């Protein structure tokens, strides 16, 4: 019993702590990391994507039963193409990173992978929120 309690406490301490950004805080953060205008995508578009994909939550994970993949982090980056979660069949891992890296409070890895996504031929339209809600 004591071992189970210790294991439980260890797992709780290892869980990802969610950061939920405020809109202006996120905009400032993205601007400082040179996302404004990257591959022609405006700062308001990046903020819009983050809002509609994750509600500005860095620890958001959503399952897609059609592709049997998951979307991770503030920009909801897919394990089918962009990151490796060890569970998605035939995942490509184009960003060459574990999906758990996209769940950190520090969104540096999410920004890095998002920049790679917009360089793809589909570009900003890779995000459903973009053409549904963000006028792209």
7 pLDDT exceeds 70?
no
Cα–Cα distance for residue pair 58/76, rounded to 1 Å: 9
Segment 28-49 mean pLDDT = 96
For the cut 90, the answer to whether the pLDDT of residue 21 exceeds it is yes
CATH code for the structural domain at 18-133: 1.10.530.10
Give the pLDDT of residue 15.
Answer: 52
Per the model's pLDDT, the better-predicted residue between 83 and 136 turns out to be 83
Q: DSSP string spanning 59-79?
A: T-EEEETTTTEEEETTTTEET
Residue 68 has pLDDT above 50, yes or no: yes
Integer Cα distance of 112 and 12 in angstroms: 28
- Point out the least confidently predicted range of 14-23, 65-74, 77-86, 110-119: 14-23
- The edge-to-edge listing of strands for the beta sheet with 77-78 is 61-64, 69-72, 77-78
Measured distance CA(88)–CA(69) in Å, rounded: 5
10 pLDDT band (50/70/90 cuts)?
Answer: very low
- pLDDT score at 18: 84
Judged by average pLDDT, the poorest of 17-26, 53-62, 95-104 is: 17-26
pTM for this predicted structure: 0.85
pLDDT digits (tens, 9 = 90+) for 41-61: 999 999 999 999 999 999 999
* Domain definitions of the chain by residue range: 18-133
């Amino acid at each position: 019993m004591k071992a189970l309690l210790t294991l439980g406490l260890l797992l709780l301490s290892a869980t990802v702590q969610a950061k939920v950004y405020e809109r202006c805080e996120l905009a400032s953060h993205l601007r400082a990391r040179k996302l404004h205008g990257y591959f022609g995508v405006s700062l308001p578009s990046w903020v819009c994507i983050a809002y509609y994909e994750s509600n500005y939550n860095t620890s958001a994970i959503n399952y897609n039963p059609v592709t049997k993949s998951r979307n991770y982090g503030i920009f909801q980056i897919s394990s089918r193409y962009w990151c490796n979660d060890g569970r998605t069949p035939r995942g490509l891992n184009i960003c060459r990173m574990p999906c758990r890296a996209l769940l950190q409070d520090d969104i540096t890895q999410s920004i890095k992978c998002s920049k790679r996504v917009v360089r793809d031929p589909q570009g900003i339209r890779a995000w459903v929120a973009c053409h549904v809600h963000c006028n792209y």
